[in-house]
Structure 1
Amino acid sequence: MPTSVAVERRSPVNAFVVPFGIFAVLLVLNQLLETAWPDAKFAVYPGQTLVCGFALWRYRQAYGPFRTRGLAFGIIIGALVFCLWVAPQWLHLAPPRSGGFDPGPLAGSPGLYALTLAFRFLRLVVVVPILEEVFWRAFALRVLIRPDFSGVPFGTFSWSSCLVTAGLFAVGHQRPDWPAGVLAGLGYNAVAYRTRNLGACILAHALTNLGLGIYICVTRQWGFW
């Protein structure tokens, strides 16, 4: 997936908003369906992954070419955010996270179980980091500085856009994760400011989510996702 500081200045707003919007709408749809169909997520989430992945591919030219600048810093921040996210459980300051997307009911069908986990990791490690960084770092950070965001260079700093974006990023997660979400938002913002490379932001986010996914599977704390 092309990503870069060279985010195309003439790119339509749809390229930055539509994938995230589709993702959010399908999350709401899943919540509505679960009132009558508790296992709706096993159908909605794979569909969400495919539809959002297609949308990102459709708009890929808007995000610029891939760059390697600042990837090391992105890796450091991604690892740090992962540690912060699971610290309450590591330090026994919070109870285990039960519930959530537990594929256990599918264990009787090994193939389906493996496919479900594969889609879950594809969503967690590839689709979500790209669409969220495209929306929060490439769009929100800039549009909060100037409505005509295409004229704002990627990585431009503003206290107001930095703090508002970090706060909104946090409340998009489960309530127990809000403190870590704020720190994560600030961390990914820092990657944008330091590297001016959208690819480094995506890498940081993907690394955090990969670590979290592995942690979830090892500890069976499905409530994290």
Structure 2
Amino acid sequence: MTVADDGTSDARAARGHWVPFAVWIGGLLLIQAAAGLGQMPRGMPPVVYAVKTVLCAGLLVAYKPWRGYAGVHRRDWLPALALGLGVAGIWILPETPLAARLAPAWQEAYHRWLILPPGRLPDYYDPARFPTLPFNHPSLAYRPAECGWGLAIGRLLGSAFVIAVIEEFFFRGLLVRWLHGRPFHRVPLGRYDAGAFWTVVVLFGLEHDRWAAGMVAGMVYGWLALRRGSVAPAIVAHVATNLALGLYVMVSGQYGFW
């Protein structure tokens, strides 16, 4: 189903899809720039993440980009949840102690080539210690012992229920249709265009440091949106992925995923 033609201009319809995403990415780039200049206190990223979460949730509510989309049919809940959990497994398994025991060479190759930037091992990767992170790794700032349970839970909820929704409206709701034709809101989401679909898969993957897992996720979420002609099943799957990944992080202590 396409966005309803209720008199809203294509530009306004598009803003509801891209503005929250742009604000989110802007906050991420700000943190990275400050960290690169050595001006970011260790405890600041969880605070910035919480601010981004509240701000972008407010933008979603204000713009209501979901208007005009079909909801999730009851027969789609189980497949979407199962696929979302499967993506979480693909994200997690290569970096587990089990993978290190069963296929250490493959795990090292995964870290060298399938995590950005390719061709070198991440600075936190040490086979003798992995998956334990070095004490000064920035992701450890999200541990409840450092940032407090409020900010840690905020990180979990923001990744699952805000950024997952934002990304789906931007990538599957807007970008794949905008690449297909304009005005974007008149392009049925269930219409397949190979160039648009695979371009979005690649861009979605490259948005993440674990780019290969990101591309697999992009294929799964894209297929769900295409299959039902709505972004809603893709949102369900993406929320399931991020929630499962976040819970794994907090239970296992593997904050490198954050």
For 1:21 and 1:222, how far apart are their aligned partners in 2? 25
Percent of counterpart pairs with the same letter? Answer: 27
**Superposition pairs for residues 102-117 of structure 1, below 5 Å?**
102-103=140-141, 107=145, 113-117=148-152
Q: Which amino acid aligns with 1:159?
A: A
31, 37, 40: which one aligns with 1:37:
40
1:203 partnered with 2:241: no
Q: 1:74 — aligned with what?
A: 80
Q: 1:150 — aligned with what?
A: 185
The gaps in structure 2 that reach 5 residues or longer are: 101-106, 109-129
| 1:38 to partner: Cα distance | 3.1
Corresponding residue pairs, total: 216
Q: Which amino acid aligns with 2:18?
A: V
1:47 partnered with 2:47: no
211, 218, 223: which one aligns with 1:178:
211
Kindly provide the CA deviation profile for residues 45-93 of structure 1, in whole angstroms up to 9, marking residues without a partner as x: 1110011110000011653366222222211210111111112124222
Q: 1:16 — aligned with what?
A: 17
| 1:220 to partner: Cα distance | 1.5
194, 212, 216: which one aligns with 2:245:
212
Equivalent residues of 2:69, 2:230 under 8 A apart: no
Equivalent residues of 2:2, 2:186 under 8 A apart: no
Change (3 A) 1:170 1:100: farther
| Superposition TM-score, scaled by structure 2 size | 0.77
For 1:186 and 1:107, how far apart are their aligned partners in 2? 36
1:193 partnered with 2:226: yes
Change (3 A) 1:211 1:106: closer
Equivalent residues of 2:87, 2:217 under 8 A apart: yes
The gaps in structure 1 that reach 5 residues or longer are: none
Q: Which has the larger radius of gyration?
A: 2
**Superposition pairs for residues 92-107 of structure 1, below 5 Å?**
92=100, 93-94=107-108, 95-96=130-131, 98=133, 99-103=137-141, 107=145
Which ranges of 4 or more aligned residues in structure 1 deviate by more than 6 Å? none
Q: RMSD over aligned Cα, in angstroms?
A: 2.1
Q: Which amino acid aligns with 1:60?
A: K
Q: Which amino acid aligns with 1:46?
A: A
Q: Which amino acid aligns with 1:17?
A: W
| Superposition TM-score, scaled by structure 1 size | 0.88
| 1:106 to partner: Cα distance | 5.5
